[in-house]
Amino acid sequence: MPETEKDIWELFYDIKYKSVVENEPIFAYIEKVHPFSGQGIKSAWTFSGNYHCLRMALVSNKIPFDTVSPKIWQKHIGLVYPKNISSTQKKRLGKAKAQELFPETKFTQDQADSLLIMKYGVLIDRL
């Protein structure tokens, strides 16, 4: 995530501008999020704030988007977690799946879900 709301808006502005100049359509998918049991208040507020900031940056830049739940995009790309797995293990498996799908790309564990949601978007648009 970019650091500030302005940075987020500018990122989407630049993406929108490039799509107009290159006459390429764009569509975004963002993960439908909600607080979960055991999540701290600060973490829940940050998570929710980022989600709504992304939505507003997309809306204000007139970029069409849809939300997708984690279970839907994970199932669609073949990311299945064993039962009783920790969040740390989920992140590791997610990064491994992203590395499998994007072997030439360098990214952090925090960026893996974004790549996987992008892959979901590519797959869903081809159906």
Same domain? 34 vs 61: yes
What is the tens place of the pLDDT at every residue in 37-72? 676 777 666 767 888 899 999 999 999 999 999 999
Contact 50, 99 (CB under 8 A): no
**At a CB cut-off of 8 Å and minimum separation 6, what does 33 contact?**
47, 48, 51
Regarding whether 120 and 83 lie in a shared domain, the answer is yes
Q: What residues make up the domain containing 28?
A: 1-68
Whether residue 81 is found in the same domain as residue 64: no
Question: Looking at residue 8, what is its pLDDT?
Answer: 93
Residue 127: pLDDT band (50, 70, 90) is very low
> Band of the pLDDT at 36, cuts 50, 70, 90?
low
